[in-house]
Amino acid sequence: MTKAKNKSIGTSLSEIKGIVYLASPYSHDDVRVVKQRIEKLCRVDAKLMKQNIYTVSPLMKHFIIEYESLPGDWDFWQKYSQELLKHVSAVIVLMLPGWITSAGVKEEIIEAEELGLKVYYIDEELNCYYP
């Protein structure tokens, strides 16, 4: 994906209304990478909340895995993700390393586009990019 940085990030993110789906890569063979991804997702989600952008993400279910055995792969979470996408106003993709090759992120983008949802691409500092 070629990225052209949007110089007016406040304008593009501030147009978001309602609940937004937050997508990010998750699965990895190294559990430390998974932990880092979740930590970064949480930090970005907090930054979004400070801007009154409210999100849902299947990745927030990561924390229940500590208490109950659930798979962490896309095959398991796909149906849940698709159901969430039916109830949001837009999608924000957090462009952490691995987001382009993530099966889950790819499918979430496809599903969002099929549902007619606008997809925003952001980095950890909330800089917004266009595909």
Dump pLDDT digits (tens) for 53-83: 999 998 887 677 777 777 767 788 888 899 9
Q: How far apart, in Å, do the first and last CA atoms of the chain sit?
A: 6
* Count of structural domains within the chain: 1
DSSP 89: S
pLDDT number for residue 59: 83
CATH number for the domain spanning 46: value is 3.40.50.10400
User: For residue range 75-130, what is the model confidence (pLDDT) as tens digits?
Assistant: 888 888 999 999 999 999 999 999 999 999 999 999 999 999 999 999 999 998 87
Question: pLDDT value at position 62?
Answer: 66
> What's the pTM value of the predicted model, to 2 decimals?
0.84
For residue 65, what are the domain limits? Answer: 4-130
**Per-residue 3-state assignment (H helix, E strand, C coil) for 11-53:** HHHHCCCCEEEEECCCCCCCHHHHHHHHHHHHHHHHHHHHCCC
